Amino acid sequence: MPQAVSIDPNAVLWSAGEADRRGRPLLVLMHGYLSHEGDLFQLAPHLPLGPVIASLRAPIDMGQGFAWYPLDAPGDPSAEGVDAAARAVLAWLGTLDEEAAPQVGLLGFSQGGAMAVQLMRHAPERFAYVVQLSGYVSPGTLPGDEHLARLKPPVFWGRGTSDEVIPGHAVTYTNVWLPNHSTLAARIYEGVGHGISEQELKDVAAFISANLPV
């Protein structure tokens, strides 16, 4: 059985106070393996001002950082672990006032990127767009996949040519899966490793802006 996990609401970093969030789109950030909620939150000044940003801490304490699910093998995780983490994020979202966040987008890096896509698969109509950076799609089939293939929500997938963390088979699988289940904006950055380049960040900001409510 997968480890029972939950999101710590006290560890969430918000870009705005509660009184200033109502009626604004929400952008949920999910960090990578052995990182923390403060990592991607540093991107906030470079992202569009419209959305309220909530940066989550992954639920599994690994001592040197946090993880969304056990790292059995990069790019080939346990389906049970990914699904448990996705359900934890959905449960946290369920505690929020939906009227206060009329639109929800997801941005994840590496393991958090896999989480962003997995969340979209669990709740195809819940999220307006997904940004996956240096990530991958968890293998397997979910009940929401067929509906997702019809909806084809906007997904940005950015990766570097020098990324040695995500294995080739995971990239190949993702490269087939995403075009069949999303309206994909794929970007490849020459010479970039397992990280986020300045140009990628600009492309992400433009993608998010294009998918915000008018």
pLDDT tens digits for 56-70? 999 999 999 999 998
Neighbours of 19 (CB within 10 A): 6
Please state the three-class secondary structure of 47-88 as a single string: CCCCCEEEEECCCEECCCCEECCCCCCCCCCCHHHHHHHHHH
> What is the Cα 28 distance to its own chain's centre?
7
Torsion of CA 152, 87, 108, 15, to 10 degrees: 110
Confidence of residue 29 (pLDDT cuts 50, 70, 90): very high
Query: Which pLDDT tens digit goes with each residue over 150-173?
Result: 999 999 999 999 999 999 999 999
Query: What ranges make up the beta strands (E) of 121-214?
Result: 129-133, 154-160, 183-189
Q: Residue 30 belongs to what H/E stretch?
A: strand 26-30
Token duo for residue 173:
């699988």
Query: Which pLDDT tens digit goes with each residue over 175-205?
Result: 999 999 999 999 999 999 999 999 999 999 9
Q: Does CATH number 3.30.1390.20 belong to domain 9-210?
A: no
Give the pLDDT confidence score for residue 102 in this predicted structure. 87
Confidence of residue 4 (pLDDT cuts 50, 70, 90): confident
Residue located via tokens 């996949």: 145
Give the pLDDT confidence score for residue 74 in this predicted structure. 60
Percent of the chain with pLDDT over 90: 86
From the list 65, 80, 75, 72, the residue with the least C-alpha distance to 32 is 65
Contacts of 167 (CB under 8 A, 6+ apart): 73, 74, 75, 76
Q: Is the pLDDT of residue 1 over 70?
A: no
40 and 2 Cβ atoms separated by less than 8 Å? no
Residue located via tokens 């448990």: 84
Percent of the chain with pLDDT over 70: 95
Token duo for residue 74:
């990069």
Give the DSSP letter of residue 35. Answer: B
Query: Which pLDDT tens digit goes with each residue over 70-122?
Result: 876 666 677 889 999 999 999 999 999 766 788 999 999 999 999 999 999 99
